[in-house]
Amino acid sequence: MSRSPLSLHAAPAAGFDQPFEMLGACHDRVRRSLSLLQRLMEHLDREGADASARSAAADVLRYFDLAAPAHHEDEGRHVLPALRGAGDPALAALADRLQEDHRRMAAAWAAARPGLLALAGGQAWSAADGPGHFDTWRAFSALYAGHLQAEDETAFPFAAARTPAPALAAMGREMAERRGVKPAGPA
- Residues above pLDDT 70, as percent of the chain: 90
Mean pLDDT over 30-38 rounds to: 97
CB atoms within 10 A of CB 84: 16
> Nearest-CA neighbor of 58 among 141, 11, 116?
116
Mean of all residue pLDDT scores within the chain: 90
Interval 46-57: pLDDT, tens: 999 999 999 999
From residue 135, alpha-carbon distances to 41, 86, 101, 141, 163 in Å are 10, 39, 19, 10, 40
Alpha-helical runs (H) found in the chain = 19-47, 51-62, 68-74, 80-84, 89-120, 130-150, 156-161, 165-178
Mean pLDDT of all residues in 72-94: 97
DSSP-derived secondary structure letter, 10:
-
Give the model's confidence band at 28: pLDDT under 50 very low, under 70 low, under 90 confident, else very high. very high
Global pTM reads 0.87
Query: Angle at the Cα of 100 (from 181 to 98), degrees rounded to 5?
Result: 65
What ranges do the domains of the chain cover?
19-178
Q: What mean pLDDT comes out for the span 79-96?
A: 97
User: Given pLDDT bands bounded at 50, 70 and 90, which one contains residue 187?
Assistant: very low
Mean pLDDT of 64-77: 96
Say which CATH architecture domain 19-178 belongs to.
Answer: Up-down Bundle (1.20)
